[in-house]
Amino acid sequence: MMDQDGKVIYVGKAKNLKNRVSSYFQTGETTPKQRAMVAQIASIDISVTHTEGEALLLESQLIKKFRPRYNICLRDDKSFPYIYISTQDDYPRIAFHRGARKTGTFFGPYPSAGAVRQSLKLLQKLFPVRQCDDSYYSHRSRPCLQHQIKRCSAPCVGLVSQQDYAEDVNHSIQFLEGKGKKLIDHLVHKMESASNNRAYENAARYRDQISTLRKVLEQQFVNSERGDLDIIACSSTLNVACVQVSFFRAGQQLGHRTFYPKLPDALTAQTVLEAFIPQYYLNNTIPPSVIIGQQLSNTALIADALSGIARRKVRIIDQTRGERRRWLQMAQTNVDHALQLKLADRQGISERIRNLQETLGCEQLQRIECFDISHTMGAETVASCVVFDVEGPVKSAYRRFNISGIEPGDDYQAMQQAISRRYRRVISGEYDKPDVLLIDGGKGQLGVAKEALEQLQIDDILVVGVSKGPDRTAGMEKIHMLGDNASLELEPGTPAKLLIQQIRDEAHRFAITGHRQRRAKASKRSVLEQIEGVGPKRRQQLLKQFGGLKQISSAGVDSLCQVDGINHELAQRIYNVFHGNE
C-alpha cells in the first residue's frame, strides 16, 4: 500500500487477497491507526508467489527494505560480529569480523563487539595465536610486544614451527567449537608427556592452560545442552514491545541481545514474534532449534520458511521442559524487566520534553538536534550532531563532520561549516527538520548558528545556546536565546534542564569519540604518506632501500635519487619535509 507520493506505508500477505484488502475498508470496528492508514492509501501494488513460505519471506524482505510506517519494523538491524580464523594461511590469524563471511572459518554470532573482544582476549591468554593484521605481520623484523608478554608465539619472525603453531590454532578451534572437555584431556596428556621428558617449562604452560580452561568452562558451560539454539522471549504492553534473543552455541551461552521493534499499534507478544522472527533471520545465522515463549498461529509456516533459507531442518519449539524451560523462564524475566525499564525511560523523556516545550514556549516539540565541536589545540577538528525525539536518542540519525579549511581552533567557523553541511541535506529532504536546535556554546556560537540557518533561508527552527556555568559545574549551565528573551534561568534538577544536560552531554561524548578516532588515525599515518607524489609503491621502495624513516630522514638528495622512481624534484621534496624547509 502506497501514499500519494509513492511511499510504501504498509506491506501485508494473505491467502485470499480480496478478503484481506476488503477488511481494511469495512465500516466495522477498526483501530485509529487502521483508519489513519486507510485514509493515506493512494494505490496498492500486488505480487503473487508460489507458496505461503515465499510470501512470508517476501513480506519480511519488503518490510526491511521500505520500513513502512504501519508495519512492525525491526529497528536495530546491525549485523552480528563473529570470530574469524584465516585457516587458508600458513600461519592463520584470529580476528574480529563483521560483514559477509567468505573464506576462512567463522564462530558466532556473538551478541556484541564487546563479547567478541573479550573472547579474543581470553584466547590470547590460552593459545598464543597471532591476532595482528596481515600487513603488520608481513613487515615485522623482530617480535612485537605481544610476544614479550606471552600472548603470541611470533610466527612473523620464525620463532615457532608451523606444526606447533597449527596445534595452537587447532586448540583454539576446539575451544570455540565447545569441545572443552576433549581439549582438556588432550592438554593433560601433553602435560604428562612433557613432564616425563623433563620439558618442565612446556609442562607448566600446559598446566596453566588447563587451569584457565577449567575456570572458563565452569562459568560458560550449560550442562544439558550440546547443540546450537536461540531462545527468543517477548513482552508487549501499550505501544511498546521488547524482544530478547539469547544465543547458545556448542553448549555455551554467548549472551543475549535486546530489540525494541517499532510498532504501528498496541499488539500482543504473539503478533510481534510472528513479524520479528522472519525479519531477524533473513540476515542472521539460523540455528537448528529456536525456542520461543509464546504459541504462534503460523509456527509451521515460519519453520518451513527458515528451513528453506538454512537448507536444513529448523525447529521452532514453544513447549519446553527441564533445563530449557528454566532458561526460557529466565529470558522471559529479563525481557519483562527490560520492557519496564524502557517504559520508565520513555515516560521520563516524555515528561522532560513537555517541560522543555513549556519552558521554551514552542508550539510543538517532537525532535531536538544538538551540535558540539571537539579538537586538540585546533587539530583534527570534529563536529557532532545528535538527535532526540519523544522516545529518547535517535542514534541512527547521529552524524559526525570532519572539519577542514578553517583557521585552527576557530570554533565559530567549525560550527558554521557543520550546520551548513547538515541543513543543506535537511532542505533536500534527506533528514527531518528539528523543532529545536541546541548549540553547545554561548551567545557567539548561537549567533553563528543562526547566521548559518539564515543563509540557507531556514527560519522556523528555534535555536538555543547552552553555555557552561561557573567552574563548569553541572547543573549551573546558562540557556541563551536570540530576541527579547536573551537568556533563561532554569532551576537545577528541573525536567527541562535535565533534558538539556543529557542532550548536551551526549553531543559532547559523540564529538570527542570521533575526535579521538581521527587523532588516533592521524598518529598512525606515516610522514611519507603526506608527501605529494609518494604513493604506496614508492614508500615501500624507500623503506626497503633505507631500512626505516630515521635513515630516510638523514639521507641526502643524491642518495634519495638512487631509489627507483625517485627523480631529483621528488627527492628534494622528500628532503625538505624532513628538514623543515617546507
Task: State pLDDT tens for residues 467-517.
Answer: 876 655 665 677 888 765 567 777 777 888 888 888 999 999 999 999 988
- The stretches in the chain having pLDDT less than 70 are 27-29, 75-78, 212, 215-227, 251-253, 469-476, 483-486, 523-526, 580-582
Query: Dihedral through CA 27, CA 31, CA 33, CA 34, nearest 10?
Result: -40
Contact 162, 91 (CB under 8 A): yes
Q: Locate all alpha helices (DSSP H) within 282-393, ordered by sequence.
A: 299-310, 322-360
Examine residue 264 and say whether the peptide bond preceding it is cis (omega within 30 degrees of 0).
no
Q: Print burial letters for 491-506: b (CB count within 10 Å at least 16), e (below 16).
A: eeeebbbbbbbbbbeb
What does DSSP assign to residue 534?
-
Residue 249 C-alpha cell reads as 552455541
Q: What is the pLDDT of residue 93?
A: 92
Contact 456, 424 (CB under 8 A): yes
Q: Print burial letters for 539-567: b (CB count within 10 Å at least 16), e (below 16).
A: bebbbebbeeeeebeebebebbeebeebe
pTM, whole model, 2 decimals? 0.56
Query: Dihedral through CA 85, CA 88, CA 89, CA 95, nearest 10?
Result: -20
Q: What is the pLDDT of residue 217?
A: 60
Q: What is the pLDDT of residue 473?
A: 61
What does DSSP assign to residue 98?
-
Q: What is the pLDDT of residue 364?
A: 86
Q: How far apart are CA 247 and CA 284, in angstroms?
A: 12
Strands (E) across 460-566 are located at 462-467, 478-481, 487-488
Looking from the CA of 512 toward its CB, the CA atoms found within 13 Å total 6
Q: How far apart are CA 59 and CA 522, in angstroms?
A: 45
Contact 353, 365 (CB under 8 A): yes
Q: How far apart are CA 86 and CA 103, in angstroms?
A: 7
